Amino acid sequence: MRRIDYKGEEYLIHTRSGMRVIDALREHNIAATCDCDHKENSTGVCKVKWPKDTAFLLTAPTEFERKVLGTEVDQGYRLSCQAIFK
Q: Which residues bind ligand FES (CB under 6 A)?
A: 34, 36, 38, 42, 44-46, 79, 81
| For ligand FES, the closer CB: 39 or 53 | 39
| For ligand FES, the closer CB: 30 or 45 | 45
Residue 47 Cβ vs ligand FES, minimum distance, rounded to whole Å? 7
Residue 61 Cβ vs ligand FES, minimum distance, rounded to whole Å? 13
In three-state form (DSSP H/G/I as H, E/B as E, the rest C), the secondary structure along the chain is CEEEEECCEEEEECCCCCCEHHHHHHHCCCCCCCCCCCCCCCCCCCEEECCHHHHHHECCCCHHHHHHHHHHHHHCEEECCCCEEC
| For ligand FES, the closer CB: 33 or 53 | 33
